[in-house]
Amino acid sequence: VQLVESGGGLAQIGGSLRLSCTYSGFSSDDVAVGWLRKAPGKEREAVACIGTRDGIPYYAGSVEGRFTVSRDRVKKTVYLQMDSLIADDTGVYYCIGDRLREACGNVPTSAPYSWDYWGQGTQVTVSS
């Protein structure tokens, strides 16, 4: 399985960025793909996830209403649209994947979970 991220970069507070993750190699089309971020001095946090077949999104409370996760089944790509960015959104964002679509249910509860696959990560920096 491969997860290849693109996007990220520098944005101002209140601005927007979009991340993309192209996935390949899953034996099923009904899996979980999402985003997890790490920031210095903070716990890692899975912020969004989506079932690749049913398209149902899941969000962490810290981003709900500001971030939107979506997928394109034909392109096998998951997107994370990040709006109303705040400084606390700064971090390295990793695309994550799991063979179990139900893994997405861990995101809203912030339950610790060992995701099957990770991308290489992309830096997001939000500043004034």
What pLDDT was estimated at residue 128? 84
> Tell me: the pLDDT tens digits for 1-23?
999 999 999 999 999 999 999 99
Q: What is the CA radius of gyration of the chain?
A: 13
Of the pLDDT bands very low, low, confident and very high (cuts 50, 70, 90), residue 75 is very high
Q: Give the chain's mean pLDDT.
A: 97
- For residue 26, the 8-state DSSP code is -
C-alpha 70/C-alpha 56 separation (Å) is: 9
In terms of residues, how long is the chain?
Answer: 128
> What pLDDT, in 10s, does the model give residues 42-54?
999 999 999 999 9
The pLDDT of residue 68 is: 98
Q: What is the per-residue pLDDT for 90?
A: 97
